Amino acid sequence: MNRILYNVTVNIDHSSHKEWVDWMKSTHIPDVMATGKFLTYQLQRILETENETGVTYAIQYLAPNMQAYREYQENYSEALQSEHAKRYNGRYGAFRTLMEVLDMSN
pLDDT-derived band at 50 (thresholds 50, 70, 90) equals low
- Angstrom CA distances, 60 to 40, 52, 68, stand at 8, 25, 15
pLDDT in tens, 55-96: 999 999 999 999 999 999 999 999 999 999 999 999 999 999
Residue 19 lies in a domain: yes
Whether the model pTM is above 0.85? yes
Residue 105 lies in a domain: no
Residue 49 lies in a domain: yes
* Residue 104 confidence (pLDDT): 87
Residue 23: give the domain boundaries: 4-100
Number of domains in the chain: 1
pLDDT-derived band at 106 (thresholds 50, 70, 90) equals confident
The CATH number of residue 58's host domain is 3.30.70.100
Distance CA 32, CA 38 (A): 8
Residue 47 lies in a domain: yes
Residue 106 lies in a domain: no
User: Are 8 and 96 in contact, with CB atoms under 8 Å apart?
Assistant: yes
Distance CA 55, CA 75 (A): 30
